[in-house]
Amino acid sequence: MSNPPPPSSSAQTGAPAQRRVLIKPKRLEGDRGPAPRLTLTWSSFFGAGYFPVAPGTAGTAAAIPLWWALSYAPQWAYFAATAAITLTGIAAAERAGRYYGVADSGHIVIDEVAGYLVTMAFLPRGLFAALAGFVLFRICDVVKPWPANFFDRDPRWKNGAGVVLDDVFAGVWACALTWAAVWVRQRLFPT
């Protein structure tokens, strides 16, 4: 006669067992109604979020031409566009997250677009700045220095605002690092 297995600690406390997710799901099963096509188009930044490998990197890369175009605009217009993308991105990420059943689905990359625009604020137009900003933003988006990690991990922020704000704050850090990289390059290789 064998003994039954000991109850797990979650069964003893009455808390549901939690599984560690190694790969973030892009969409959970279930019918959530018709697809909100405009929302999904914007939240995926015109489909960049559907790139099969590293959609966040694809979304950031898709933001580079937008930054380049906005860099010709007056500074107030750049900030107005960044604010508009951030605010509409929050709304789109919220709705898309509900549709996918995953608050921070990999298909949602409008947060990377907003974060990259924050990264590139005030920076000079040029290939070095664009690429340094791209690399440093991707690093900050993965590492998530404070307060980006707060918005990424706190359960109260598992919504559209948290999805976008963690990238906006990663963009603030990446902006400072990109400025430092540009400054060092100008000192080492003056033109």
Contact 17, 10 (CB under 8 A): yes
Contact 173, 119 (CB under 8 A): no
Give the separation between CA 157 and CA 170, rounded to whole angstroms: 16
The pLDDT tens digits along the chain (191 residues) read: 455 444 444 444 454 444 444 455 555 555 567 778 999 999 999 999 999 888 989 999 999 999 999 999 999 999 999 999 999 999 999 999 888 887 888 899 999 999 999 999 989 899 999 999 999 999 998 888 788 766 677 667 677 888 889 999 999 999 999 999 999 888 888 76
